Chains A and B, each alone.
Chain A
């Protein structure tokens, strides 16, 4: 007597195979996503430090709030705010926006550079 699989058996087997495949693929894509997020975040941190250095050297004046984009890095935008507090120190905050809603923020306290006589 010749017997094949029943429809039910075939369906159950198919579901198991698909579910396993989906789990494996999900793990893979989560890994890829995490890696590209990490890369973007590293770049954002670097760009924020770069902007901070521009304020430190006096290229961008303290107490000035600005926004803009980076020439070499498309898709990254920055927002700089700096406020003077009662002690005379400036609180500089730099936020770099990327990948739609993600951001990296850097805070630093800075003093005004002494004027050269």
Chain B
């Protein structure tokens, strides 16, 4: 006599099967979430690297001129701005008499890090435009904070017009947005050899 499955047996088998399937799916889903997170973190780390490298290049090319860093806001949401003169404008292909120095600024605008390079520094009477050389270099940078090192002390702000000097080093902290919820801080200390090793009167 041939016998099929009873309804009960079928139901039990279906329940067990779907339980196994759900468990397997949960495993793969958590693996995918993990990998998505890792990918987002890698992208943000890369962005932080790029920003810090650009800033390092600009700071190490710092030249004679005002160096002004201000900071307001709270520890969790600082509002900082750094402005200095630096050699970061390649002029070798230019047909115009241009300077290789620019007035470079870093600040937060609309929850992203902006860098501004103003080239027209040569003539005194040309006014610099607010929007000239503006670029977003850190789309995922929420806040930025700078500290300035001078004779074993870290200071929250710096004004070369008061100190008549440049700081030995600058500490940058980037508050980065990772995915929707996570926040991560990246800190780097950047050494300014020109300020640390050259006496003020030889710095031109």
Contact = CB atoms under 8 A, between A and B. Distances in A.
B188 A50 contact: yes
A116 interface: yes
B4 interface: no
Contacts of B191: 53, 56-57
A113 B38 contact: no
Interface stretch (A27-35, A76-84, A85-93, A94-102): A27-35
Contacts, number: 49
Interface residues of B, number: 23
B198 to A, nearest CB: 8
Contacts of A53: 169, 188-191
A31 B196 contact: no
Contact of A114 (B34, B35, B197): B197
A9 interface: no
B45 interface: yes
A60 to B, nearest CB: 11
Interface in B4-18: none
Interface of B: 1, 3, 27, 31, 34-35, 38, 41, 45, 149, 152, 168-169, 185-191, 196-197, 199
